[in-house]
Amino acid sequence: MPISETKKKKIIALAIFIAIFIGLLVFLFYGDNFNVLKEIFNSNATKDQIQESIGKLGIRAYIVVFLISMMQVILTFVPAEPLHVIAGISFGLWKGMAVCLAGIMVGNTIVYILYKIFGTKLTDYFAANVDFDFNMAKKSNKIALIVIILYMLPAIPYGIICFFAATLGMKYPKYILVTGIGSIPSLILDVGLGHMTMETSWAVSITVFVVIIILLILMVKYKAQIFKKVNEFVKKNQEKAQKKVGNYNPIIFKGIGRLIFAGIRTKVKVKLKNNVGRIDKPCIVLCNHGSFYDFIYSGKLLMKERPHFVVARLYFQNKKLAWIINRTGAFPKSLLAADIENSKNCMKVIANKEVLAMMPEARLSTVGKFEGIQESTYKFIQKMNVTVYTVKINGAYLAKPKWGDKMRKGGLVEVELNCLFKAGEAENVPEKEFKNKIDSALTYDEFKWLEEHPEVTYKHKNIAVGLENILNICPECGEKYSLETEKNHIKCTKCGLTVDVGNRYQLSGTKFKTFADWYDWQVDEVRKEIKKNKDFCLESEVELRHLSKDGKKLTRFAGNGVCKFDRNGLTYKGTEDGVEIEKVFTLESIYRVLFGAGEDFELYEGKELWYFVPKDKRSCVMWYIVSGLLKE
């Protein structure tokens, strides 16, 4: 079997590394160097003898100590402490530190290069016997501090810490700075001890040395407890970062909005209306949710009030993205699932007399219509009994639909703020009336709104592309998953039906006026199928993904299997992190299955996300439709 180019490069790199390493060993153990090394590491040698031995080497003494410092990073079994003490004895505090630190920095650099060549296999090998949760640490927003703490712990050689730091995706300047700073405290301690033997009496030096040895012995003895505490710190730090209600920063909020709309180079005219005057605090602001950018539209209206938005937990998995979101005042929520942490954060916002902003539908609209609110959300709003406002957004869905790839040019978005309940009024309103009032205030229909704005047209060369991810059934032949799109056309590969999509999303070539009408017909067809077939079951091979652990991505690969959805609920049977499982979500536990058009369908369970990617990604919407119909 021929060797791949990548493997060849790795072999060549390894050969070069081994050659250089052998050359360094030859230098260290050649002639006088070897004899001096034996004297240096002779436990019976006095400080005067060590100084004399080092003196014999001249400039080579610095090179030898430098090289050994470098090698003790790469060869994790070489102890660093004796060399650092000797450097302090031989060169003094500052010179000793400079030589050792230079060697460590070069060693750290070599580790960084090795990781870039050979990947995570090296890290997994070294970390196997260390009782430390590296995956959790990677997600922390105080990773630099954690790296520095690792340098102070027993049983973790410098090399392992360097490999771990390299896996975090740091750029080299940050990596070398963090690993360099991390090594300094222990370096000061060791070199300082050696220097102390020169500047003080042997009695003082020995006393300090004995105390340090006793502390090290205690740390090694109670290593498990120490690691446990560090792991708890890392976990607590990570959870705290997610639990925290962010501090609203208007500059960052404005910057996000400008970057988003500048990046798409599309001008969307936003008309803001505020019919309520000054906002009373604390309060809850409810927004309908037709577009991914609704937080920007509503944020423009609420910016002066410094709102705290509830955001899907998924987006907090990326450390950089989480940092930005948190500084817009937002905090995470497991969508359409019980989330005690989120409830506490919501109550904290109210207790602080601030503005709690939420999209109570908790998912993007499929066809630009109001899609309903979970029962527990109504109860929470009524229980808070504070002033309730609504932000009604029209035109946002059509400017950037859930299934579309880019913003459409020529859009108009209208945003209007109204007061629904004054503080103290909600608790006195009958439950049914309370729900109806909220639904009525948030209900919208983008195509009815478009009829009222004949001046609005949308320019996009691929205006129909993506509709196959919400339209699954051909109205002519009834075939499922036979629809394809190109530019402004929808075509059925089975019967040849061709439908054109106009610049106001009007359809020609079919009985439906809009794709929303087509979708409603499709839902009715599935409803008939479910009623007719008592053994109805939606089934697909899937890839399972969970929330990412490394802080770099949103999700990670977790396994493969088969998903089934019938009258009992949704079942996944397959692998999860290498283990065969059967996971059941009962119908009673499901409000709706969330979906990304042409991407996935998903369910939150506590703080975990079950993210399924089906074999035919066009079918994602069908899992959403079926979940709603079976709940009927």
Nearest Cα neighbor of 602 from 578, 579, 620 is 620
For the chain, what's the residue count? 632
Nearest Cα neighbor of 274 from 247, 305, 245, 253 is 305
CATH number of 534-631: 2.30.29.30
Q: What local confidence, expressed as pLDDT, does residue 481 receive?
A: 96
Nearest Cα neighbor of 126 from 164, 96, 89, 95 is 164
C-alpha pair distances (Å), 48 with each of 68, 85, 107, 200, 612:
21, 14, 30, 14, 69
Q: Which residues face 414 on adjacent strands?
A: 271, 394
Which 8-state DSSP code applies to residue 628? H
What is the residue type of 398? L
Q: What local confidence, expressed as pLDDT, does residue 241 receive?
A: 46
Task: Count the neighbouring beta carbons within 10 Å of the beta carbon of residue 511.
Answer: 10
Q: Which residues face 274 on adjacent strands?
A: 417
**559-595: per-residue pLDDT in tens?**
999 999 999 999 999 999 889 999 999 999 999 999 9
Hey, what are 497's tokens? 């039906």
**588-628: per-residue pLDDT in tens?**
999 999 999 999 999 999 999 999 999 999 999 999 999 99
CA 324, 325, 327, 328 dihedral sign is positive
Q: What local confidence, expressed as pLDDT, does residue 354 receive?
A: 94
User: How many angstroms separate the CA atoms of 436 and 502, rounded?
Assistant: 35
Q: What local confidence, expressed as pLDDT, does residue 19 receive?
A: 63
Residues of 141-152 as b/e, b for ≥16 C-beta within 10 angstroms? bbbbebbbbbbe
Which 8-state DSSP code applies to residue 459? B
**Element (DSSP H or E) covering residue 182:** helix 172-199
Q: Point out the residues of the chain with pLDDT beneath 70.
A: 1-58, 60-61, 72, 75-92, 118-146, 152-160, 167-169, 186, 189-244, 246-251, 253-268, 270
**456-506: per-residue pLDDT in tens?**
999 999 999 999 999 999 999 999 999 999 999 999 999 999 999 999 999
Q: What local confidence, expressed as pLDDT, does residue 129 receive?
A: 46
Q: Where are the domains of the chain?
A: 5-241, 250-448, 467-531, 534-631
Task: Count the neighbouring beta carbons within 10 Å of the beta carbon of residue 593.
Answer: 25
User: How many angstroms separate the CA atoms of 608 and 556, rounded?
Assistant: 12
Mean pLDDT taken over the chain: 81
DSSP string, 14-83: HHHHHHHHHHHHHHHTSHHHHHHHHHHT-TT--HHHHHHHHHHHTHHHHHHHHHHHHHHHHSTTS-SHHH
